Amino acid sequence: PNTQIANVPGSCEECFCSSLKDPDSDFNIAYCSNIICSTLCPPGQEYEVSPGQCCGKCVQTSCAIAMPTTADESLLTTPSESFHLIMVGETWYPTGDACTSYKCEVADGQFSTVVTKETCVYVREEDCEP
State the Cα–Cα distance between residues 63 and 44, nearest whole angstrom.
Answer: 5
Identify the pLDDT of residue 53: 83
Q: CB 65: neighbour CB atoms within 10 A?
A: 19
Residues 49 and 110 in one domain: yes
- Is 9 within a domain? yes
State the Cα–Cα distance between residues 130 and 124, nearest whole angstrom.
Answer: 13
State the Cα–Cα distance between residues 63 and 45, nearest whole angstrom.
Answer: 9
- Is 126 within a domain? no
- Is 74 within a domain? yes
- Is 127 within a domain? no
In tens digits, what is the pLDDT along the chain, a chain of 130 residues?
678 887 777 678 888 988 888 899 988 988 888 889 999 999 999 999 988 888 899 999 999 998 766 555 555 545 556 889 999 999 999 888 888 999 999 999 999 999 999 886 766 777 666 6
Tell me if 116 sits within 8 A of 98, measured CB to CB.
no
Residues 86 and 60 in one domain: yes
Identify the pLDDT of residue 70: 56
- Is 40 within a domain? no
Identify the pLDDT of residue 96: 81
Identify the pLDDT of residue 91: 94
- Is 122 within a domain? no
pTM: 0.64
Tell me if 13 sits within 8 A of 6, measured CB to CB.
no
- Is 128 within a domain? no
Range of the domain at 23: 3-34
Instruction: Give the total residue count for the chain.
Output: 130
Q: How many domains does the chain have?
A: 2
